[in-house]
Amino acid sequence: MSDVQNLQAEVANWELELAALDQECTADGWTEPEKLLFTLQRTAATYRQGILPRIAVDQALVMHARPDGTAPAALTAYNTIMIDELVQHVARLERLRLELVHFGETPQLHRQAIETLAALRALTTVLMRFGQEVISSW
């Protein structure tokens, strides 16, 4: 399995876990704030324990390109930027979760949490698509 496929599997498992959580929470009568808190906690944990280490340690997805002139430096910079952005979004999720716990749900905190989750998904999609493009261009 390639790094891209491993990352895709990790992200797919996270998405399945969140879908199962949503069904379970709905069946058990959880409130929206409770579901959101658990989603934020589960997402942050999954990224910290699985997705970010895979990207960082494996130099995932971007180091497979054949070097030509400035390509290695550009790919290293890309990898550094992507990891930094993902780490910042995960940290923001953790901060928002704590704010939700301490202050309760407000429309603004709820919106920020949903937007941060969406941004994290989008960044992960970009990273995986870039990795697929690099590998398919070999």
Instruction: Identify the DSSP state of 47.
Output: I
pLDDT at 129 over 80: yes
Count how many domains the chain has: 1
Write down the pLDDT at residue 105.
84
Mean pLDDT throughout 77-86? 86
DSSP letter at 2 equals -
* Residue 136: predicted pLDDT: 56
The whole-angstrom separation of Cα 33 and Cα 35 is 5
Buried b (16+ CB within 10 A) or exposed e, 56-84: eeeebbbbbbeeeeeeeeebeebbeebbe
Q: What is the pLDDT of residue 61?
A: 52
- Which single residue is written with the structure tokens 């910042």? 88
Q: Label residue 132 by pLDDT band (50, 70, 90).
A: low
More confident residue, 79 or 47: 47
Q: Does residue 83 carry a pLDDT above 80?
A: yes
Residue span of the structural domain in which 18 resides: 3-136
Q: What is the mean pLDDT of the chain?
A: 83
Nearest Cα to 133, choosing from 78, 70, 61, 30?
61
Q: How many helices (H) and strands (E) would you count in the chain?
A: 5, 0
What digits encode the pLDDT tens for the residues 56-75? Answer: 766 545 555 555 556 667 77
Q: How many residues does the chain have?
A: 138
Question: Could you tell me what percent of the chain has a pLDDT over 70?
Answer: 80
